[in-house]
Structure 1
Amino acid sequence: MSSKSWYALKSKAVHTRYGLTKNIQVLLQGLESFHAGIIDARELGSMVRLSPRRRESVAATIAKCARMINKDPQESKTCVDIIEMCTEILEIADRPPPIEGFPFMRLPAEIREYIVDLMVDTVFKSKGIKPSSRKVSCNCPQLEREFGSFHTPQMKALPSILGPALNHEFFRIFFRKKAVRFRCCCELLYHLDSNPLLVQNVRDIKVHWCGPKSARTFKKLAECDKLEGLTISISKSTLANLSPRADLMKQFFPLSYRHVRITDILGLDEILTIRGLKEVSVTHLQTRSTNLTAETDRANLSEMLAHQLKKEKGYGPLDEF
């Protein structure tokens, strides 16, 4: 057995012969427990750092052993062992604590969900959110006011702080609680194509119906299995793009299409294939310039979409015939 152990010192009654204090005895015993794997370095270091008297006892013991060597050279071996043990204790106590993250993934799924839920509510105050930067280039008019400063640094940093392991949990909770607003169908299609987590988890979407990609957008939107709410904003720009059939008819029946009807717009056939929604509404993007005809079209479109889109998934348009 090594002489540099608390058990060896105690068997030789060194603590009695040298008059070692209780504090240094506790530390020497703690060092032996550390080498035996009973406690770790952090716990042993805390025993020294949290008690000034224990640190003083280490220095006093080293000084006492130095005097003992001068007084009785035969005790040199034992004194050197004690000094080395005291030095090791101080070295462990002065180590910087390891930087370790909180074992968040070890928590039960219910507690993790509750914590992420609180984080989302704390960082994202509003019920709706829109993409912070416009990553798609199109000629769709920007009729809504841009809120560039709406996305705080905390909002942008939160998903990356949580890390890839929590990405699915974060976005599942985030899209369950927040309505996502898009400036046009082109922007919505870009995010549906590039963000599978949006397609898998989004519950509520608000979008301005305009742009040449409306048909593709609503066809892709039908793949969002968890979508429950859809708010469509319409404007004069909504009438700028016609469906392929209406566009063909306009070429040969120009007089009949001098005034574009809401039933001829691009994307209407595709949006009518969406099923399983709970809330559907149609609003005017610019309420000040609304006339009676536009309001009538809005009300009728809202009624038709609610009638069709709230039907159960798998329902076909010809099932009633």
Structure 2
Amino acid sequence: MYLHYQLVTLNVLNRFGICDRGRIMLKAYEDYKTFLIDKDELRRRIRFSRINREALTHTILKCVQVMRANPAECRYGESIIESCAEMMTIGDEDREPEPLRFLNFPSEVRRMIYQYCFHQKAKRGGTNDVYLARKKPSCGCAYFENADSPLERNELALAHTCSRLHEEVMSYFCDAKTLKFSCACVMRKFLEENRMLRGAIRHINFHWCGPAADQSILQLGSLHLKSLTVTISRATTKRITAREEEFRRYFTSKKRGEVALTDALGIDELLSLCGIPNVAVQHPDRLMAPKLLTSDRISLENMLQAKLTLPRKGE
């Protein structure tokens, strides 16, 4: 069989009077035979172009006419007819349907799908916050039902498909959602049990309270957060730092006074954080917040915004 390069070299195409479109199709056939294009691409060029199919028919008729007039050209004509016939056969073949694989979509398309899935709740009047403590924690910390925005079961159904999708979906989920914790105890337990997910967490909102608030807040230093919201209440000052406990052993005046936020357990660990662009302090319920806590909230927010937004060492 003679391919396009050989036919051009031997000047066969000019002698046979093959049209330009016919030459293009013979070149495409050569590319198919030399693995420059696949069978599907050749099929598309034939099936979706009426001009290309007519060029194959015209090329076969030209070859028949030349072979009748000059039998010496039969070997070239047969080769061209055979090539055209094979191309027409390929064009008539029915392509086997391939399964539509989600992972074959471009990453941009997959991110659009994730965005649609995770933001539908907000469009229905909900919130992009996810309250991970759906039940009252056993640690006895304060729990606010009004702030509860539980994770819907079907929101992360896509993440359980396979390991690759789990990593990709959870990474986008943590970047799009704010993880809310009813207390520092729940936050600590979640971070310890989901070590593989810690690197993807970007937004956290937690209620500052609990017997292990200092150790819980300390774990936030290993995260690369974009935003941190600290919720304060009367429960925040129920436990004090070891330093304040030492002072109260010797300064009797402190025993009678109220505990300030600057003495609450975890304040030192909270001020040690850095590299967080957006920091805020809020109350669980603004309407029920005492005036004293409102003043402390503003002061604490100003202080955290001045300290926590500083860049990390080495950045």
Structure 1 length normalisation: TM-score?
0.61
Following TM superposition, the consecutive aligned residue runs of length 4 or more in structure 1 with deviations greater than 4 angstroms are: none
Q: Deviations over 1:133-190 (max 9, x none)?
A: 4495211021343758x54442253422x32221111011111111111101111111
CA drift at 1:313: 0.9
Q: After alignment, is 275-284 or 137-146 more displaced?
A: 137-146
1:138-153 equivalent positions in 2, closer than 5 A:
138-145=139-146, 147=148, 150-153=150-153
Q: Deviations over 1:91-145 (max 9, x none)?
A: xxxxxx99x9642223333333333333323467531111164495211021343
Q: 1:113 aligns with which of 105, 111, 114?
A: 111
Q: After alignment, is 298-307 or 196-205 more displaced?
A: 196-205
CA drift at 1:203: 1.5
Q: Give percent identity, aligned residues only.
A: 28
Q: Alignment partner of 1:222: what SS?
A: helix
Q: Deviations over 1:272-315 (max 9, x none)?
A: 11111111111122333433332221111110000000000118
AA matched with 1:118: Y
Q: Corresponding residue for 2:159? A: 159
In 2: Cα distance, 1:101 partner to 1:137 partner: 48
Q: Alignment partner of 1:207: what SS?
A: strand
1:1-321 equivalent positions in 2, closer than 5 A:
102-122=100-120, 126-131=127-132, 133-134=134-135, 136-145=137-146, 147=148, 150-155=150-155, 157-160=157-160, 162-225=161-224, 227-258=225-256, 259-314=258-313
Q: Alignment partner of 1:139: what SS?
A: coil
In 2: Cα distance, 1:262 partner to 1:188 partner: 20
Q: Alignment partner of 2:199: what SS?
A: helix
In 2: Cα distance, 1:152 partner to 1:201 partner: 20
Q: Deviations over 1:228-279 (max 9, x none)?
A: 1111111110000101111121122232242211111110110111111111
Pick closer, same or farther for the CA change 1:159–1:136 going to 2, 3 Å.
Answer: farther
Count of residues paired in the alignment: 217
Structure 2's unaligned 5+ residue stretches are: 1-38, 40-95
Q: After alignment, is 276-285 or 231-240 more displaced?
A: 276-285
Contact 1:132 1:151 in 2 (8 A): no
AA matched with 1:307: A
AA matched with 1:311: L
Contact 2:131 2:148 in 1 (8 A): no
Contact 1:138 1:186 in 2 (8 A): yes
In 2: Cα distance, 1:134 partner to 1:143 partner: 10
Structure 1's unaligned 5+ residue stretches are: 1-38, 40-96, 316-321
AA matched with 1:176: D
Contact 1:123 1:154 in 2 (8 A): no
Pick closer, same or farther for the CA change 1:213–1:102 going to 2, 3 Å.
Answer: farther
In 2: Cα distance, 1:167 partner to 1:303 partner: 38
Pick closer, same or farther for the CA change 1:144–1:254 going to 2, 3 Å.
Answer: farther
Pick closer, same or farther for the CA change 1:288–1:124 going to 2, 3 Å.
Answer: closer
Q: After alignment, is 122-131 or 261-270 more displaced?
A: 122-131
Pick closer, same or farther for the CA change 1:245–1:237 going to 2, 3 Å.
Answer: same
Q: Corresponding residue for 2:36? A: none
Contact 1:231 1:283 in 2 (8 A): yes
Contact 1:246 1:264 in 2 (8 A): yes
